[in-house]
């Protein structure tokens, strides 16, 4: 009986320690979200996908009445993106600005902006050790997926400000898929001067939405990954509508996955990754199912097999 009681005490102690670590992890995560939403900053970062490197400049300003941020690609083929409060503008050089609603810029890491209430359903937050990164003391925070087939995230945060210095996206097997890395960071109490003009610039309002119903699906999607659901009114895809038989857009609140069904083009079944994005094509003599999104190849294969 004494031994059994001793074992129970150890188990309770371990559970308590794990709960405290989890609470500390989410407190750290709230600190990083506060930093990217509330601070005035001018930063540069790179996105590493294998041998591919994309570079950006990211400015953010917050006042009592306004929030504004500007994402500037430093590569020649990128598009400037501006967000003022709940409107996001894609500033195109040869066409009018494309305007959508959004509380963040989708091209930035979504993990920085999704509410911790939603993320707690998907991940455990585990604080790691401190290290030096770019001359600054950085705290590691691991977001480990609760469901199989979901990616993990490792975040390194500046100890002083909570600002993210690096974000690694890892596979189920902890293999690195994509890295987001800050190369320059300047946080100031003053509103960034470069954003002042954009704050008052005359920008278009979003056009009245023209709701186009997708063609009636000729197939059914009979399987969904854990925590995902189907978006009932996804945006139409004019480039594919002529031969699109079925289309589903899935989300877990953080990521989005597209599933397309088209007549077979005679391509072989194939799978590959662009950083953390999986592209899986399943071919048959009649149909071709394509799955695109930040999920494992195994999950993409199961989604394609779920089309009946």
Tens digits of residue pLDDT in 4-37: 554 454 544 444 445 567 889 999 999 999 999 9
Residue 208 lies in a domain: no
Res 271: pLDDT = 94
Q: What are the backbone angles phi and psi of residue 13, rounded to the nearest 5°? A: -65, -40
Locate 136 and state its tokens: 């600054």
Q: Is 145 helix (H, G, I), strand (E, B) or coil?
A: strand
Evaluate whether residue 4 is within a structural domain: no
Q: What is the pTM of this model?
A: 0.86
Q: Are residues 275 and 235 in the same domain?
A: yes
Whether residue 163 is contained in a domain is answered as: yes
Domain end, chosen from 181, 200, 219, is at 200
pLDDT of residue 151: 93
Residue 213 domain flag: no
237 shares its domain with 195: no
Token pair listed for 147: 């469901």
**Domain interval for residue 293:** 229-305
The DSSP line for 11-22 is HHHHHHHHHHHH
User: Has residue 50 been placed in a domain?
Assistant: yes
Whether residues 146 and 286 share a domain: the answer is no
141 shares its domain with 254? no
Ranges of the chain whose pLDDT falls below 70: 1-20, 76, 207-216, 233-242
CA distance 164 to 168: 11
Residue 3 has what pLDDT? Answer: 52
What was the pLDDT predicted at 142? 96
CATH number assigned to the domain comprising residue 113 = 2.50.20.10
DSSP class of residue 254 equals S
The side-by-side arrangement of strands in the sheet containing 246-251 is 229-230, 246-251, 256-263, 287-293, 277-283, 270-274
- Check whether residue 26 and residue 128 sit in a common domain: yes
Q: What is the pLDDT of residues 118-134, one digit of tens each?
A: 899 999 999 999 999 87
Q: With 0-12 CB in 10 A as exposed, 13-18 as middle and 19+ as buried, what is 205?
A: exposed
Long-range contacts of 295-302 (CB under 8 A, 24+ apart): 295/149, 295/150, 295/151, 295/225, 295/255, 295/257, 296/149, 296/150, 296/151, 296/171, 296/172, 297/271, 297/273, 298/149, 299/149, 299/225, 300/257, 300/271, 301/271, 302/223, 302/225
One domain for residues 159 and 256 = no
């Amino acid at each position: 009986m004494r031994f059994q009681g001793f074992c129970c005490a150890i188990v309770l102690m371990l559970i308590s320690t794990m709960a405290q670590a989890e609470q500390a992890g989410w407190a750290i995560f709230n600190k990083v979200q506060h930093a990217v939403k509330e601070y005035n900053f001018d930063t540069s970062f790179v996105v590493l996908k294998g041998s591919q490197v994309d570079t950006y400049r990211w400015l953010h300003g917050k006042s009592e009445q306004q929030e504004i941020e500007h994402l500037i690609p430093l590569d020649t083929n990128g598009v400037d993106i501006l967000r003022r409060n709940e409107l996001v503008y894609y500033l195109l050089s040869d066409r009018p600005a494309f305007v959508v609603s959004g509380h963040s810029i989708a091209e930035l890491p979504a993990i920085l902006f999704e509410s911790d209430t939603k993320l707690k359903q998907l991940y455990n937050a585990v604080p790691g050790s401190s290290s030096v990164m770019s001359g600054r003391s950085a705290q590691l925070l691991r977001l480990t997926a609760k469901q199989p087939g979901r990616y993990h995230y490792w975040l390194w945060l500046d100890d002083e400000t909570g600002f993210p210095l690096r974000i690694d996206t890892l596979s189920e097997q902890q293999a690195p898929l994509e890295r987001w890395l800050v190369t320059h960071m300047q946080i100031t109490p003053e509103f960034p001067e470069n954003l002042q003009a954009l704050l008052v610039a005359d920008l278009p309002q979003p056009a009245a939405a023209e709701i186009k119903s997708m063609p009636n699906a000729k197939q059914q999607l009979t399987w969904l990954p854990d925590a995902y659901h189907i978006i009932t009114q996804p945006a139409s895809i004019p480039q594919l509508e002529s031969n699109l038989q079925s289309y589903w857009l899935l989300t877990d609140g953080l990521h989005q996955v597209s599933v397309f069904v088209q007549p077979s083009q005679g391509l072989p079944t194939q799978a590959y990754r662009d950083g953390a994005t999986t592209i899986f094509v399943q071919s048959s003599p009649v149909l071709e199912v394509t799955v695109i999104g930040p999920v494992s190849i195994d999950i993409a294969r199961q989604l394609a097999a779920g089309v009946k």
